[in-house]
Amino acid sequence: DVKVTQSSRYLVKRTGEKVFLECVQDMDHENMFWYRQDPGLGLRLIYFSYDVKMKEKGDIPEGYSVSREKKERFSLILESASTNQTSMYLCASSFVGRTNEKLFFGSGTQLSVL
């Protein structure tokens, strides 16, 4: 079974802190993604990566950056956390190729910024 592991289930941070969310996948997937889930807004794509050291902005990248130094690991960074970044953060991975674009998700990190 594919496993996508997010380092924390719950995080509480202060406004202005730098926050790191870590994600590791064990299926040698090329693509990795960070989404956030908010009530009434669904899942919105923050950033994605299709290869090591490659990254692309999603729909809501402002206030975030990412790092992918190794194929299995994709980190989301909140440079200076703000209260409007309180959300559920979901990491996902997938194979390259249009024959199977199924994403595999981690369990999520519920981040609260106070």
Partner 1 sequence: DQQVKQNSPSLSVQEGRISILNCDYTNSMFDYFLWYKKYPAEGPTFLISISSIKDKNEDGRFTVFLNKSAKHLSLHIVPSQPGDSAVYFCAASGVNAGGTSYGKLTFGQGTILTVHP
Phi, then psi, of 85 in degrees rounded to 5: -100, 5
For residues 57-76, which are near partner 1 according to CB under 8 A? 58-59
Contact between 77 and partner 1 per CB under 8 A: no
Beta-bridged to residue 33, according to DSSP, are 48, 92
Cα–Cα distance between 85 and 62 in angstroms, integer?
10
Binding segment for partner 1 (CB under 8 A), chosen from 13-21, 50-58, 65-73, 79-87, is 50-58
Residue 42, by phi and psi: left (phi above 0), alpha (psi -120 to 50) or beta?
Answer: left
Cα–Cα distance between 92 and 52 in angstroms, integer?
15
CB of 80 to partner 1, least distance (A): 26
Site pattern 4..33 for partner 1 (x: CB under 8 A): x----x---------------------x-x
Binding site for partner 1 (CB under 8 A): 4, 9, 31, 33, 35, 40-45, 48, 50, 56, 58-59, 90, 92, 94-98, 101-108
